[in-house]
A and B are shown apart, each in its own frame.
Chain A
Amino acid sequence: MVEHFLPTTLTETLDILDTNKVEIIAGGTDLMVQRRTWANTLPKFDQTINIIHVKELNFIRQEGSKLHIGATTSYTTLLQHPDVPQLLKDCISVLASPALRNIATIAGNIGNASPAGDTLPILYLYDAIIELSSKHRVRYVPIQDVIVGPRKTTIEYNELITSIILPLHDFSTVRFDKVGGRKADAISKISMAAAARIEDGVIEDIRFAFGAVGPIIVRDTGIEEELLGRTIEDIPDVLPTILSSIASRITPIDDQRSNKNYRSNVALNLLQDFLLTL
């Protein structure tokens, strides 16, 4: 018999996941579009578990230098919370629309694993750790080991994303750029998250990650390291090398939203602009 589960506790949720083949719905803003059929006709699901009523998963908590975000916490809640880093807020404020942000979740961005998921470059930039829970164990997996391809993750069938852990950093500059066909509700053609800590004109920390220019988010810490310890004045000299390194790492495609030349040029222009305005 087909069942759609509506648990209210985490224990119940993990029990259901352990013994049933179900698809997980939180906000539902991606899945309900992917599975829609026609007006007044059921979306195409076999069995589902809707976790939106599991209150234990709705939280934002700072523990030491890490921010823990519960899986069903909405983007609106994140946007209004004092402990959420500005870079993430900058991204959320241009993500979808107010009504979508009221229900959509970061955990959904991870589970959906779209190369254009807007918060993903930020999770890569922050070296986010994803807490995956099953009835039998909890494991903590770096974001880049969770998402392995478009819509492909290493999350096991009986596991649930229970929280997202962001190590907090004291960046002096942060920037999120999203290029889309419309300001609201656009799926990104290209996105870039960037952050740096500059002390006395010296680059102490610098990170940049790109969305929608490859099957997964592109971040290369090797390229970032080439900039560490350099001064702002050095940047124009090393810029051509940095840009050509990034150009060789990104693999944009042509699709209905954009094309590879545009994506590649804009990605490099965004990075150049970020580096030259530090």
Chain B
Amino acid sequence: MSNITFTLNHNVVTIDIDPTKRLLDVLRNDFHLTGSKEGCGEGECGACAILLNGKAINSCLLPVGSVQGQDVVTIEGLSQSRQGQALSDAYRDEGAVQCGICTPGMLIASHALLLENPHPTDDEIRIGLSGNLCRCTGYNMIVKAVKKASEDGEGLW
């Protein structure tokens, strides 16, 4: 066990934990932040995506020791921000949510993309979201939603 201290959704937290435990399990079971989902558990679906220092990461692949001293934002944190709100509005307006399991990871990947590229083309959106699977296959609506968020949220990213 080790004391791991990091910033979680803008608050400094410390937890005494096995540093090889998956960040996804720590978020869901120790911090009760269940927005991040486990889909495949092997880095192929992106449902567990979180932001590590502003970049999308699959939390199912990250030992919690790797976030020592780092900045972690989950979907719960993102949704409290203006960017998160703009993204959820756009996802709602474009009908980009079907069963919803992929949505937290899609929103994280969308935000991470817009942070790097505030005006992405359709192709750039598809590449930006290429690590996230939607089992309902609602990709066209998701791509449109990211486009809409980038337009409606002009200046936020």
Residue in A32, A41, A96, A184 whose beta carbon sits within 8 Å of that of B63 in the complex? A32
Complex contact A53–B109 (CB within 8 A): no
How distant is the Cα of A110 from the Cα of B56 in the complex, in angstroms? 24
Count A-B contacts at CB 8 Å: 107
**In the complex, what residues of A have CB within 8 A of residue B109's CB?**
98-99
Complex contact B65–A4 (CB within 8 A): yes
Complex contact A103–B57 (CB within 8 A): yes
Complex contact B112–A36 (CB within 8 A): no
Residue in A29, A39, A45, A97 whose beta carbon sits within 8 Å of that of B20 in the complex? A45
What's the least CB distance linking A273 to chain B, in Å? 24
Given the interface pairs A42-B20, A45-B20, the reply to whether A102 lies near B43 with Cβ below 8 Å is no
How distant is the Cα of A45 from the Cα of B20 in the complex, in angstroms? 8
Residue in B19, B21, B131 whose beta carbon sits within 8 Å of that of A97 in the complex? B131
How distant is the Cα of A42 from the Cα of B43 in the complex, in angstroms? 17
Query: For this complex, into which size category does the number of interface residues on chain B fall?
Result: 35 or more
Is A248 engaged at the interface, CB distance under 8 Å to the other chain? no
Complex contact B18–A40 (CB within 8 A): no
Is A258 engaged at the interface, CB distance under 8 Å to the other chain? no
**In the complex, what residues of B have CB within 8 A of residue A242's CB?**
none
Complex contact A28–B62 (CB within 8 A): yes
**In the complex, what residues of B have CB within 8 A of residue A103's CB?**
52, 57, 61-62, 66
Binding site for A on B (CB under 8 A): 2, 18-22, 25, 28-29, 38, 41-44, 46, 49, 52, 55-58, 60-63, 65-66, 68-69, 109, 112-113, 127-128, 130-132
Binding site for B on A (CB under 8 A): 4, 6, 25, 27-29, 32-33, 36, 39-43, 45, 48, 50, 52-53, 76, 96-100, 102-103, 183-185
Q: A25-B63, A42-B18 are in contact. List 16 more A-B contacts (CB 8 A).
A: A25-B66, A32-B60, A39-B41, A40-B28, A41-B25, A43-B63, A50-B65, A52-B66, A53-B66, A98-B128, A98-B130, A98-B131, A99-B57, A99-B131, A100-B58, A185-B130
